[in-house]
Every structure is written in C-alpha cells, then in structure tokens.
Chains A and B, each alone.
Chain A
Amino acid sequence: MENTLRAINTVSLNTEVIEEGALKLIIDGRLDSNSTGKMWRESLLAVDKYSPEKVILDASGVSYCDGTGIALLFDLQLKQIQRGGVFEILGLAEEFQQLFDQFKPSEFIEAKIEAPEPSNIFVNVGRQTIDIFRGIEANISFLGEIVVALFYAMLNPKSVRWKDFFITSELIGVNAFSIVALVCFLIGLVMAFQAAIPMQQYGAQLFVADLIVIAMFKELGPLMTAWVVNGRSGSAFAAELGTMKVNEEIDALTTMGLEPVRFLVVPKVLASFVMIPVLTIFGNLFGLIGGLVVMLSLGFTIVTYVDQIVSAATYVMLLAGLIKSVVFAFIIAGVGCMEGLRTKTGASAVGDSTTSAVVIGLVLIIFVDGVFGVIYYFLGI
C-alpha cells in the first residue's frame, strides 16, 4: 500500500567514472519529498567534483519518483546543459519518464526570479513624496465629492438613505456615549485635581471651576470626544467600506448606477454632523461633573460650583466648541470613508485602511484644532 511504501525512505547514490569526461550517477530507491533533499546535495556535489562533459544518470533502480524527485533529475539535467555538457538519463520507469518529459530545460534557463529591489534612500524619499502629493490630491478631490453630494442631499432630502443615517447615528452616537462620558469625566476629574493643588497656595481653589468649564467647552470637550469617536467610528467606517471594496460590493453599486459617495458616505457624514456635537455636549457635562467631584472633596458646595461655572461660561464659548466639533465630525467621517474607499486588494488592505483612517484623522483633528485656536484668538473668543 502507498503509505507503507512511503514509510521506506531509502535512497542511495553511487558514482562511477566510466570513461574520460563521463560520469555515471546511479540512484537507487525512492525519490520523494522526504528523501530527496539529502540526495540533491550529494548528487550536485558529485557532479561539481568531477565537472564531467557527460553525465549519465542510471535511474533503473528508482522505485518511486514524485514531483520533488523529478525536480532533482531535472536540476541535474539543467545544470549540465548550463555548463555546456551532455546529459543522458537511462532506465527511468515509463510513468516517471512521462512526468520528466513535461519540462523543457530551455524554459527554465530563461526563468528568472526577481530579487527584491535594494533599498535606496533617494528612491524611497521620492516615492514617499509622490505618495504624499497624490494623497493630498485624492483628499481634495474626495472632499469636493462629499461637498457636492451633501449639497445634492440638501436639495433632495429624499435621496438620502435615512435608514442608514439612523443606524449610523446609533452606532457612532448612542453606542459611544458611555466611553465619551467616562473619558470626559476622568479628564475633568484629573484636571481639577491637578489644578487645585497649586491654586490652593493662592487661595484660588474656587477658580478651578472656571478652568474646568473654559477648558472643557473650548478645547477638551470637542477634542476628547472627537478622538474617541475617531478611534471608534472612523476606523469602523474604513473597515466597513474597505471590506465592501475588497468584496467588489462598491463595484456592484457603481455598475447599478448608485454613486458610492451618495449611497454610503453621505448618511455617515450626516450622522456624524448630528451625533458628534451632541456627544460633545454630553462630554462637556461629564467633564464638569468630574470637576464637581474634586470641588466637593475640597469643601465647596454644588451651588457654589454651579454659580462659578455660570459666571465663567458663555454661550459663545460653548458654540465655539460645537462649531469645532462639527468640523471634527466632517474630518472623522470623511477620512474614514475616504480611506475605506481607497482600500487596495489583499488580506492586509483593510487593516492598512483602518490604520490610515485613525492616524490621518487624529493628525487632522489636532491640526484643525490649532487653526481654530488662532482664529478664535483673533476673534477674541
């Protein structure tokens, strides 16, 4: 039986110089993937040692020869031809000879396996630069597409897939509520605690409330909410659209005449426009609650804390933060969807897209936050 035969992995090689410049290789036994490796090295060594003009391979003792064994015989032939010699094979059983005859040495002498290109710093810098500019070009183009699609949606509200809008709103808003609340609560708590210690020296602990409300409304509320949603939902958008791209679902939409941006991106962007500012408001609130915990522990009452907050906060301050959060929403949804739609093929492509979506989103959020800081400074907000 076959498995019994396979258990006997005995193969032997004998060499014989039969005349001037002619070497006879006698291979006996079973040539399969288990036994051929050693035989391969030995037979090549033998041929290299004598460098004969003619190699005669006596394969009459070969009891079995699978693809690996055939490859060994073929390699001996190939190498002999490459050194300009003659190769002859004798006694190979008919069924193995048929397999051997399928391969022509000329086809393999020409075959060349490409080695990876050596790394060149100038080439790499050039490629990266081109990639960056192409990325910027693609981003601007995609931004334009989204804006056009949003205008179209405003003029034709029925064209928006409202069901998807509500599903996405739940995913990025309701489902993110607890994590946004927790993060902002802890930020408020830590900030109040760290500020209270130095301010105690000046008897200005009450002004911790001012610090908390200004920082949360203007900066940390929108920023922390955007970071959480970007990590949570920006990556999810990229993964969802990336998987659709890999599965050719995007192509299917296109061939059905359904514009992917209108069909898939617009509901996500609209849901982000609505839910991220709402989450920001809750984030602000939980940041203030975090501050309240510290203030209560310092001996202030709730009324004192709330009075101080009301006197320090303005509607303009709150609105300034919410305007930022709308822009952050556009960045998160836009970048997530764009990276998803730009997904290439292959198993790692979706992972690459989600990573890019999160990293680009974070960088853009910080960058835009800085721009807003400058604008608000000049506006006196």
Chain B
Amino acid sequence: MKMGGDMDPIIRVENFTAAYGGSVIIDNISFDVCPGEVFVILGGSGCGKSTVLKHMIGLYAPAAGKIIIDGDDISTAEGEDRLRILKKIGVAYQSGALFGSMTILENVRLPLEEYTDLSPEAMDLISLMKLKLVGLSGSENKMPSELSGGMQKRAALARAMALDPLILFLDEPSAGLDPITSAELDELILRLSRNLKITFVVVTHELPSIYTIADRVIMLDKRIKGIVATGKPQELRDQSDNAWVRQFFNRQVESEVAA
C-alpha cells in the first residue's frame, strides 16, 4: 500500500509556510509521504517546487510549520540530531553539484569515507556499483568538468545513493537527459523503491517520467501559493475537476482548455 492511510508516513509536512524576505512563496500546506512511495512534487515554473524541496532537506528553515523526517523535525534539529536525520536522506541536485576537484569515483566515495567503516577496496567497489546503476561505468576516473550535464546528474544520483539512504530527494532528475537514459533512470527509481523500499521525493516537469514512476503527486500553484491537486497522475489527468490541472497533464495551452 503506497497511498498513505494505513502506514505511518516517513515524511510529514505540517502547516508549512515558506517565505523569502517577507514574500510568502508557499502558504500553509500539509502533506505526508509514505515509506517506499515515489512522491512527485510538480507545478508550473516559479510555483515553489524547489523551495519546498530545499526546506524538506533542511537547507532553509520554514517561516512556519514543521517538516518531520522519520519522526524528527529537520527544521529545528541541531548538532548530532540533525546529522542523524541527514544520514537518512540523499539529495541529487538539479545541477549535479559535484565537487569539481574530485573524480567522479571520489565524489561517490566521499559519503562512504565519512560515515562507514568499510575498507578502501569495499568503498571503491560500492562506488563502482553505484556508478554502474546510473549507467556511468567507465567514467569513474573522469573529473566532473569532463562529463556532460546529463552525466553529471547521474553521477550526483550515484553519490546521493552511496549510503543507501531511506529517502532520496531528486531535483529535476530527468531534465536534460536523452529519452533512453531518462527511461533507465525511471526504471532504476522504481526498482529501488520496490526492492529496497527507498522513498523518493522527486521534483520534476517530465510528464512521461511522472506517469511511469509516481505513486502520488502533489501539484503546486503559485496563484494560491499552495497545493492545487493531490493524487495519482493518471487520475488527475483524466478526472480532475480543475481545468488548470487537466491542462498541465495534457500539455494544453490555456485557450484549448477554455474552448
């Protein structure tokens, strides 16, 4: 069961408000994410998707509300408590955010070096296996600057997976990838979700990817600064009574919906 309800949520966002410099971006939203669920945050440009994600991973403190990760509030946790929460999550950033002075293998290896007691050979093997999973075998000795944007994104995903976290946050993982690589990435997300019960929180615009991977989506709308729809993507596409939501899922321009 992945639709919430009979399972304790692994992430709980309660009455969350985000604001930059007095300007409210997200106003009082609440939602839950269940263990093993692939949860997609979507919406139009500038609606605050990445803002929600950055608050969920503890980069910013909410203006109001709580963000509970596996029982602990990441927005108020400090020191060891915060570190304990951060070890449960992995984040793949939109730009990759790989460390430019390290090889791809060293980037993936870094969390293992810092947080495990594995031997160097074991760390190398795990890093190579993660890179294999994201289709980057053979690129382990390259520097990030030698990789294309799409390859950097995949390397970032490998780094995010290095410690096999409970929750993986992915910011636009398929943007800029070719369709085959994008489909492989979707397959990987589904496999990890099903086999290891890893929870995914994905911010994306890619509709084919959303239909393939998402167990549930929330859709943000900047006009109401909140959630305009929640549910399975196929249901929202076909049955939503909100015209803008249908328009989004059917890739229609406003005039077509009006007609």
Known contacts A3-B71, A66-B164; is A348 also within 8 Å of B101 by CB? yes
Residues of chain B within 8 A of A18, CB atoms compared? none
Contact of B125 (CB < 8 Å), options: A3, A41, A74: A74
* In the complex, residue of chain B having the shortest beta-carbon distance to the beta carbon of A111: B128
**Given A98-B191, A111-B137: A346 and B101 within 8 A (CB)?**
yes
> Is B23 among interface residues, defined by CB-CB distance under 8 A?
no
CB of B70 within 8 Å of the partner chain: yes
Whether, in the assembled complex, A212 has its beta carbon less than 8 Å from a beta carbon of chain B, the answer is: no
Minimal beta-carbon separation of A116 from chain B (angstroms): 10
User: Which residues 158-204 of B sit at the A interface, judged by CB distance below 8 A?
Assistant: 161, 163-164, 166, 191, 194-197
Interface of A is mostly: helix
The reply to whether the CB of A1 lies closer than 8 angstroms to some CB of chain B is yes
A19 contacts the other chain (Cβ, under 8 Å)?
A: no
CB A100 to nearest CB in B, in angstroms, measures 10
How far, in Å, is B195 (CB) from chain A's closest CB?
A: 4
Whether a CB of chain B sits under 8 angstroms from the CB of A113 is yes
Question: Does B126 lie at the interface of the complex (its beta carbon under 8 Å from any beta carbon of A)?
Answer: yes
Contacts of B129 in A (CB 8 A): 67, 70-71, 74, 103, 108
Whether B130 is near chain A, meaning CB under 8 Å from some CB there, is yes
How many of chain B's residues have a CB under 8 angstroms from any CB in A? 44
The chain A residues found within 8 Å of chain B, CB to CB, are 1-3, 6, 32-34, 36-38, 40-41, 66-68, 70-72, 74-75, 78, 95-96, 98-99, 102-103, 107-108, 111, 113-114, 344-349
Task: Return chain A residues, CB-CB under 8 Å to B15.
Answer: none
Q: Is the C-beta of B132 less than 8 angstroms from some C-beta in chain A?
A: yes
Select which of A1, A68, A103 is within 8 A of B132 by beta carbon.
Answer: A103
Residues of A within 8 A of B115 (CB): 33
Question: Of the candidates A6, A38, A71, A99, which one forms a contact with B126 in the assembled complex, judged by CB atoms under 8 Å apart?
Answer: A71
Contact B125 A75 (CB under 8 A): yes
Q: A68-B116, A346-B100 are in contact. Are A107 and B132 (CB under 8 A)?
A: yes
Q: A68-B126, A70-B129, A74-B129 are in contact. List 8 more A-B contacts (CB 8 A).
A: A40-B119, A66-B196, A74-B125, A75-B125, A111-B140, A114-B141, A347-B100, A348-B101
**B119 contact set on A, CB distance < 8 A:** 37, 40-41
| Chain B residues, Cβ within 8 Å of A67 | 126, 129-130, 133, 161, 164, 196
Distance A72 CA – B100 CA, assembled complex (angstroms): 29
Measured CB to CB, the closest approach of chain B to A102, in angstroms, equals 7
Is A1 a contact partner of B122 (Cβ separation < 8 A)? no
In Å, the complex CA distance between A371 and B196 comes to 72
A75:B191 contact, CB within 8 angstroms: no
- Which residues of A sit under 8 angstroms from B101, Cβ to Cβ? 346-348
A113 touches B195 (CB 8 A): no
**Is A95 in contact with B116, judged by CB distance below 8 angstroms?**
no
**Cα–Cα distance between A1 and B117 once the two chains are bound (Å):** 26
| Interface contact B166-A6, CB-CB below 8 Å | yes
B52 contacts the other chain (CB 8 A): no
Once the chains bind, are A1 and B130 in contact (CB under 8 Å)?
no
The answer for the CA separation of A1 and B36 in the assembled complex, in Å, is 11
Q: How far is the CB of B118 from chain A (nearest CB, A)?
A: 5
| Chain B residue with Cβ nearest A72 | B122
Q: For window 12-37 of chain B, which residues contact chain A by CB distance below 8 Å?
A: 35-36
**Complex alpha-carbon distance, A72 and B144, angstroms:** 27
> Which of B124, B126, B130, B132 counts the most chain A CB atoms within 10 A?
B126
Docked complex Cα distance between A108 and B112 (Å): 19
- How far is the CB of B100 from the nearest CB of chain A, in Å? 3
Most buried by B among A78, A98, A111, A346: A111
Within the complex, the shortest CB–CB distance from A65 to chain B, in Å, comes to: 8
Contacts of B112 in A (CB 8 A): 33
Contacts of A36 in B (CB 8 A): 118
14 A–B contacts from the bound complex (CB under 8 Å): A1-B7, A3-B71, A36-B118, A37-B122, A67-B126, A68-B116, A70-B129, A71-B126, A71-B129, A75-B121, A95-B196, A96-B195, A108-B129, A346-B145
